[in-house]
Homo-oligomer: A and B are copies of this chain.
Amino acid sequence: MAETADIKTPAGFLFSTAEASIKKPGRKDIALIVSEVEANIAGTFTKNAVKAAPVRLCMRNIRSGKGRVIIVNSGNANACTGKKGMHDAEKIAADVSRRLNIKPSLAYICSTGVIGTPLPMERITPALAPLAGNIGGSSFADVAEAIMTTDTFPKMVSRSIKIGGKSGTITGVCKGAGMIAPNMATMLCFILTDVALEKRALSAALKESVSKSFNRITIDGDMSTNDTVLLMANGLLGNAPITRSVKYFGAFKKALDEVTYGLSKLVVKDGEGATKVIEVDVKGARSESHALKAAFAVANSNLVKTAIYGNDANWGRIMCALGYSGIPLREDKTDIFFNGIQVVKEGLANNKDKEATAALKAKEITITVDIHSGKSSATVLTCDFTEEYIRINAEYRT
């Protein structure tokens, strides 16, 4: 949230939002992102075998590596909607493309919301004229608002990067909240930059960055049908297009990582019903994949997450999750810390439960686990688990 004030819009991107009353009337629920010029574009998508129609459309278009517009709606996921779903997505893309006089293959569509209900085209179609007719009439923050579903605040992160004498911008927006889990922990994320990057460099940067951010957060272990991250680079900064072999690639990558990690953390902070952000750091593993497995077992444990919610330094549940994570574990070599307070030393209680319980009252909790078996580590972000999550999800459609 603190980040929102510093959001800069990269050169050459314009925005529009409109009301299509998709779920209910009274809010802007459809948004348009337009690059003034053809941009290079990279994307990563849900690995769920059940992919929403807009995801399949994006995956088809992204083969060209080129894009001009992103059209997003909230309130309906257009998933499990069969041939009509794909037809509807294509129709929206064609309609907006025609109005903007661009090739439909340069249009990317994203949807989020309820699964299994066809899009209300009778309300969406009439909204496309004002949407396409009002480009520049909305801000980036308006887009962030329009794509929210159960999110309680808009999520944006922005970074600057010096290239030669010029200052480029990387700015991302995402929505998250529930149904968040690897792979692709956010449902929808759009990152825009005016920095010029060669297509393969852009793809590689995004893939690596997502693997360390959105793919390392978990809220409820459910992986959505619609998860999409798109990164558009329109090159209007005018730098020589960055390839993987130039020094600026590292600088771009670093700034991009800050954007994706920052957005991931905002997603976790806004996990449905969450009151705390939990960072699970596993150290001393034989390999990064072992460290990740262990960290995810802890981060996905309902019992760990309810204990943190209840300010209970119940490290036994962490040991238990480590034990079933599937990695080799020496109980008598394992140390566990809550916000730096060591509660387990060589597998045994360290009698610091009182101090740890006090520390758990903080809003940001770090669980550090050292399994002393090697030199690899990994971090996973999650949130605590509360009655409010149940309420939100028991009543979502009612």
Contacts and interface: CB of A to CB of B under 8 A. Distances in A.
Interface of A: 47-51, 77, 79-82, 114-118, 178-179, 220-225, 300-303, 306-307, 309-310, 312, 314-317, 319-324, 327-329, 331-332, 344, 346-349, 385-387, 389-391, 393-398
A115 B323 CA distance: 13
Q: How many copies does the complex hold?
A: 2
A305 to B, nearest CB: 9
24 contacts: A48-B324, A49-B328, A49-B331, A50-B322, A50-B323, A77-B316, A79-B319, A80-B331, A80-B344, A82-B346, A82-B348, A116-B348, A179-B303, A222-B317, A222-B324, A223-B320, A223-B324, A225-B319, A302-B389, A307-B393, A310-B394, A312-B398, A386-B390, A386-B394
A80 B347 contact: yes
A309 to B, nearest CB: 5
Contacts of A396: 307, 310, 312, 314
Contacts of A320: 48, 50, 79, 115, 179, 222-225
Nearest to A304: B222
Given A117-B349, A302-B222, A324-B48, A316 B390 contact: no
Contacts of A118: 349
A306 B115 CA distance: 16
Given A48-B324, A222-B301, A314 B397 contact: yes
A63 B222 CA distance: 41
A323 B225 contact: yes
Contact of A332 (B82, B386, B387): B82
Contacts of A394: 306-307, 309-310, 312, 386
A316 B347 CA distance: 42
Contact of A316 (B116, B316, B344): B116
Given A80-B319, A316-B115, A319-B225, A220 B49 contact: no
Shortest Cβ-Cβ A-B pairs, 9 listed: A115-B316, A310-B394, A50-B323, A306-B393, A48-B323, A387-B387, A116-B316, A223-B324, A49-B323
A180 to B, nearest CB: 11
Contacts of A324: 47-49, 222-223
Given A49-B329, A348-B82, A390 B387 contact: yes
